[in-house]
Amino acid sequence: MDADDPAPLPRWDDERLRPEPVAYPAATAADHAAGQHLRAIHDMYRRGLAQVGDLVEQVAAGEADPGAAREALHGLGLTEAYQALGSYCGQICQAVTAHHGIEDRFLYPPLRAADHALGATLDRLGHEHQVIHAVLEALDRAVVRTAEDPSAGPAMVAAFRHLRGLLESHFDYEERAIGTALGVHRIGV
């Protein structure tokens, strides 16, 4: 691999190796509402990812110049385009990082203490957070490279698509794996 080529994007192992969610047959509608709340939070990130994705695709494909795409989102001028792209991506990345930090510190430890059967699932979710954060760093580097050299756009798009796929998979699994558990154990509700 050439020194200028980006490193391979971090991945996690086969999703089929994820622990099965713990069943809570006596869970009430109120218990399930915690999972719906978690999904609503994730949906906010999904919407942000869709906006960033549209911007990344337009800029990289040359379908819109960076300034016009950026101006549509933030009313900025042409000279600030790539800086703004990095800033907008950075905002979403910071939000995801903060979200995962909150889960790692304030949701997972009490869930683990409340239900030891969730241990393997919480370990897996923590591992996925680590992989996602490594991909966030790779995306940040790709945005910087693209700002310096627009021909690096395809690598930026690839990094973003990879991140988005991992996040979607992670969000879906997390909602199924701990959504009801949060309600059953009255954590974060």
Of 41, 164, 158, 149, residue with least CA distance to 93: 164
Residues 152/142, Cβ–Cβ less than 8 Å: yes
What is the pTM assigned to this prediction? 0.83
Place of tokens 């300034």: 67
Average pLDDT across the chain, whole number: 81
Residue 73, pLDDT score = 36
Instruction: Express each pLDDT in 156-178 by its tens digit.
Output: 889 889 999 999 999 999 999 99
In a domain, 88, yes or no: yes
Count of domains observed in the chain: 1
CA atoms within 13 A on the CB side of 55: 25
How many percent of the chain have pLDDT more than 70? 80
Higher pLDDT, 158 or 79: 158
144 within domain boundaries: yes
What is the tens place of the pLDDT at every residue in 47-78? 888 877 887 787 777 775 554 443 443 333 33
24 is a domain residue:
no
Is 68 within 8 Å of 61 (Cβ atoms)? no
Q: Which residues of 50-80 are buried (b: 16+ CB within 10 A; e: fewer)?
A: eebbebbbbbbeeebebbebbbeeeebeeee
CB 107 within 8 A of CB 165: no
Is the confidence at residue 88, as pLDDT, over 60? no
Cβ atoms 144, 37 nearer than 8 A: no
Res 106 pLDDT > 50: yes
pLDDT of residue 77: 34
Distances (CA, A) of 76 to 73, 85, 86, 153: 8, 11, 13, 20
**CATH number for the domain harbouring residue 116:** 1.20.120.520
Residue 56 within a domain:
yes
- The residue type found at 86 is G
Give a yes or no: residue 74 inside a domain.
Answer: yes
Do residues 132 and 98 touch, judged by C-beta distance below 8 A? no
Residue 75 lies in domain: 42-184
